[in-house]
Amino acid sequence: MGIWFKWNMFFTSFLPLWVSIIISDLWNIVVKLNALYTSNTEKKVITVKTVLCTISIESLMILILLICSIISIHAINDIIKTQRSAEFHERGIIKRAKRGNKLTAEFLLAYILPMIAFDYSDIKSILLFLIYFVVLTFLCIRNNNVYTNIYLEFMGYRMYECDIECSTMNGSHIYTDSLVISKNNLTQTIPQEIGYFDFDNYIYIEI
Amino acid sequence: MSKEYLKSLVQTAKEQDYTWSLYFFKISHQKKGNPYYVYKIKFKNVTYLPQYAKSLCDFVSKYQIDPLENVHDYDGMNSKTSCDKIKVNNELISEQWNYFFTSVTNAAREEVKGNYQGYILDGQPVHEEDKPITFVKIGNPIIKIENNKSVVFRHVENVELEQFSDDLCRLYLSTDFLVIEDTLYSFNLAFEGIFEMEKTMRRLKDIAIDKIIETNAFYEVEKVTSFMKSYTSPKTFLTLKQQRLDKLNTLEGRSEIANRLQLSTKDSAEIIIDTQEKANQLIKYLCYKIFQDKETDNLIEVNSVLNDNVLRRK
């Protein structure tokens, strides 16, 4: 579940980029179709094949992004719902909490850069973006970098940098500078016990 | 701590509210430093693990604790009808336990490659008044179905067979040892292997030999030291008691020991140990591994006494 959940978190954190690309591609489709009809001065019959060939790259991009986004959103919802259904959750005590503001800046940098740097109607640009995205995915999943997740933000979750004390075996351990994603204001009461599910020793979602 | 107390703790874990975590572990004692690699497992269905934990508590209580005669301190011998207890901060296991604990707290979430040596089921109480409990089972829980000797199929719809090559995971309804608070309760001696106690015991053997030699009770000390170092079972030294060392420190005590073990003495009652056999016998006596039969005055080894127990015969 760990890598699958991290991938979904990573993919959905780029939702604004995917929405921007879809809008940009839709725009291109409209422009290309318009050009196709206006250039058809001899009133020839425009076949479906011709239309599809003209907008194939954009259509494919939109389709792939929509399918991946739906799968990722569904998977996140499914995992959170499954974890919530547990009778008892693992518990930890928040010893220090701070709003994770700097994560937002990292996130903006990560998604604005590809938006302005690549042309998503051009195969060469798409290939270059794929290389950039695959490398970024590999590094982020391997090193547990979680950006502000716009989908979770819409769901009411916020990110906190916390020190959390968790009991393990016959003792306890404080995980410092952990990322806790919670719907509650964790800075309000410290120390505070929370129920969570974790997909890494330093990343927790409050249940 | 009695058997009843141990049973009540396991029953509490079954009946009360606990959160359970499962870890697989791999050990590589060849490497210096922490030899434990731990991997935290997540289940697709969150009810599987609590269900398994409750069944495990039930089976451990019924089939492992109920048949016990008693719970006593670890002495290197497990009679199968007793449960050994040892503090996790005991010098025999404290270093390895700390490594083990650290590995669990920093457990990886990505699969650790290679064969696992066992698994840990950690139960944390929801209510403060209950105690955390950790079950450890030695043995690879992953079963590889595919091998060179056979091909495995599974039944699917319409009584058709489909090739099956996925690995399976088997969790047993028994445990090798469990840890409650700072005490480890062991039903066998499997924990000695995972905590690499052989090495620690060799170190303790050297310390014990130094203590015996320091009593200045021997003639030709170097010879005696060499015989003692050649003694093959370091575990025997676990039961070396100060009471017997004190006896070696006095002239009367030495004479009594020499008499009992039929050893010769020199001036100022220095005991002469000139064969390996005599050294072995002295070690066993100092470590309470041989006793004198009051009826026959013969020296009997503890193992022989246990094996000769008529109540055990069928």
Give the separation between CA B221 and CA B241, rounded to whole angstroms.
21
Residue B107 contacts residue A142 (beta carbons within 8 Å): no
Which tokens in the block code for residue B141?
């829980």
User: How close is the nearest chain B Cα to the Cα of A177, in Å?
Assistant: 14
Residue B254's alpha-carbon distances to A106, B58, B224, B282, in angstroms, are 78, 53, 15, 11
Instruction: Using CA coordinates, name the residue in chain B closest to A173.
Output: B105
Q: Region of A3 please: left (phi>0), alpha (psi -120 to 50) or beta.
A: alpha
Subunit contact A170:B181, Cβ cutoff 8 A: yes
Which tokens in the block code for residue A23?
């809008």
Of B134, B229, B139, nearest in space to B193 by CA: B139
Which tokens in the block code for residue B113?
């490659």
Give the separation between CA A128 and CA B97, rounded to whole angstroms.
50
- Tens of pLDDT, residue by residue over A40-55, are 767 676 777 777 777 8
Q: What is the 3-state secondary structure (H, E, C) of chain B?
A: CCHHHHHHHHHHHHHCCEEEEEEEEEECCCCCCCCEEEEEECCCCCCHHHHHHHHHHHHHHHHHHCCCCEEEECCCCCCCCEEEEEECCCCCCHHHHHHHHHHHHCCECCCCCCCCCEEEEEEEECCCCCCCEEEEEECCCEECCCCCCCCCEEEEHHHEEEECCCCEECCCCCCCEEEECCEEEECCCHHHHHCCHHHHHHHHHHHHHHHHHCCCCEECHHHHHHHHHCCCCHHHHHHCCHHHHHHHHCHHHHHHHHHHHCCCECHHHCEECCCHHHHHHHHHHHCCCEEECCCCCCEEEHHHHHHCCHHHCC
- Tens of pLDDT, residue by residue over A173-204, are 999 989 899 999 999 888 999 999 887 888 88
Query: Rounded to two decimals, what is the model's pTM?
Result: 0.81
Residues 114-153 on B with a CB inside 8 Å of A are 120, 122, 124, 126, 132, 134
- Tens of pLDDT, residue by residue over B101-142, are 999 999 988 777 778 999 999 999 998 889 999 999 999 999
Subunit contact A171:B107, Cβ cutoff 8 A: no
Share of chain B above pLDDT 90, in %: 32
Subunit contact B179:A82, Cβ cutoff 8 A: no
Which tokens in the block code for residue A81?
């719902």
Least CB-CB distance to A201: which of B50, B106, B180?
B106
Choose between B291 and A6: higher pLDDT. A6
Give the separation between CA A133 and CA B92, rounded to whole angstroms.
51
Residue B192 contacts residue B75 (beta carbons within 8 Å): no
Sign (positive or negative) of CA dihedral B119, B125, B128, B130: negative
Q: What single-letter amino acid sits at B285?
A: Y
Least CB-CB distance to A173: which of B105, B124, B132?
B105
Subunit contact A91:B18, Cβ cutoff 8 A: no
Residues in B closer than 8 angstroms to A200, CB to CB, are 109
Least CB-CB distance to A2: which of B45, B105, B109?
B109
Determine the distance from the C-alpha atom of residue B125 to the mean position of all C-alpha atoms in its chain, rounded to a whole number: 26
β-strand pairing of B133-138 with B118-125: antiparallel
User: Considering chain B, what is the average pLDDT of its residues?
Assistant: 85
Subunit contact A87:B17, Cβ cutoff 8 A: yes
Subunit contact A169:B120, Cβ cutoff 8 A: yes
User: Considering chain A, what is the average pLDDT of its residues?
Assistant: 85
Domain ranges of chain B: 3-195, 200-312
Strand partners, B292: B299
The pLDDT value given to residue B303: 57
- Tens of pLDDT, residue by residue over A68-108, are 999 999 999 998 888 888 888 899 999 999 987 665 666 66
Q: What is the 3-state secondary structure (H, E, C) of A121-184?
A: CCHHHHHHHHHHHHHHHHHHHHCCCCCCCHHHHHCCCEEEEEEEEEEECCEEEEEEEEEEEECC
Residues 61-100 on B with a CB inside 8 Å of A are 88
User: How close is the nearest chain B Cα to the Cα of A85, in Å?
Assistant: 7
Mutate to test the interface with B, among A83, A138, A169 (most CBs of B within 10 A): A169
Which tokens in the block code for residue B201?
């015991």
Strand partners, A60: none
Domain ranges of chain A: 2-206
The one-character DSSP state at A1 is -
Residues in A closer than 8 angstroms to B110, CB to CB, are 2-3
Q: Is B224's pLDDT higher than 70?
A: yes
The pLDDT-based confidence of B79 (bands split at 50, 70, 90) is low
Averaged pLDDT, B292-298: 68
**CA–CA–CA angle A7, A10, A16 (5° rounding):** 135
Residues in B closer than 8 angstroms to A83, CB to CB, are 46
Residue B184 contacts residue B88 (beta carbons within 8 Å): yes
The one-character DSSP state at A6 is H
Q: What radius of gyration do chain B's Cα atoms show?
A: 25
Subunit contact B19:A89, Cβ cutoff 8 A: yes
- Say which residues have a Cβ less than 8 Å from residue B9's Cβ, sequence separation at least 6: B131, B133, B180
Q: Is A154's pLDDT higher than 70?
A: yes
Residue A186 contacts residue A48 (beta carbons within 8 Å): no
Subunit contact A88:B126, Cβ cutoff 8 A: yes
Would you call B44 an interface residue with chain A, using a CB distance cutoff of 8 Å? Answer: yes
Sign (positive or negative) of CA dihedral A40, A43, A49, A55: positive
